[in-house]
Amino acid sequence: MPRILPRSFYARPTVDVARALLGKLIVHDQAEGPRIGRIVETEAYLGASDPAAHAYRGMTPRTRVLFGPPGHAYVYLIYGMYHCLNVVAEKEGSSGCVLIRAIEPVENVASPGNGRAGNGPGKLTRALGITLQHYGADLTQGPLTIREPATKSAPFKIGVSPRIGIREAVDWPLRFFVTENPHVSRRR
């Protein structure tokens, strides 16, 4: 099995984690077998210094996990309908996190109908079976982990752009994606 990323991977600046997560594998073990997707798009949310971040206004019941140790999952429900998966970064006490915005299907990730399965933050959680029950899950052990691919993937270029769907700090270049990958989310 591919190697699980250690907690030290997440205990560094949020932007570094957001870039380093590109190409890594999200593995969700299920009874029927592991669902696996390759991360191809991320966004960095910097915490206390970032007006677009959920943690910007301080700790609430929802954002509690953001202030804890790195390498845990921050899952929340958006628009009453979709879940979004974030990875807690920085050392404990800081509240930076990385939103996973798109995956490339690798294993057991079904495409519904004609659309793609993982090209959007709400769609990839549905494809991987991630829900609020994964709030706070430790990504270095247990059924939900992030891993280094077993076989080295081909080198790729990282594209940078402003983040999508936010009202504050709209120009900050904190979205990162694998260039020319068809599973990156569509432009607005």
Burial environment of residue 72 by CB neighbours within 10 A (0 to 12, 13 to 18, 19 or more): buried
- List the one residue out of 21, 29, 23 whose CA is nearest residue 1: 29
Please give the residue ranges that form the binding site for DNA (CB under 7 A).
Answer: 43, 45, 52-55, 57, 60-63, 74, 76-82, 84, 86, 97, 99, 112, 115, 120-124, 163-167, 185
Compute the least distance from the CB of residue 126 to DNA, in Å. 8
Compute the least distance from the CB of residue 161 to DNA, in Å. 13
Looking at the Cβ atoms of 56 and 156, the one nearer to DNA is 56
Compute the least distance from the CB of residue 155 to DNA, in Å. 27
Q: Please, what's the largest Cα pairwise distance for the chain?
A: 43
Burial environment of residue 34 by CB neighbours within 10 A (0 to 12, 13 to 18, 19 or more): middle
Compute the least distance from the CB of residue 48 to DNA, in Å. 12
Looking at the Cβ atoms of 51 and 149, the one nearer to DNA is 51
Whether 35 and 127 have beta carbons less than 8 Å apart is answered as yes
Looking at the Cβ atoms of 23 and 121, the one nearer to DNA is 121
Looking at the Cβ atoms of 8 and 111, the one nearer to DNA is 111
Burial environment of residue 51 by CB neighbours within 10 A (0 to 12, 13 to 18, 19 or more): middle
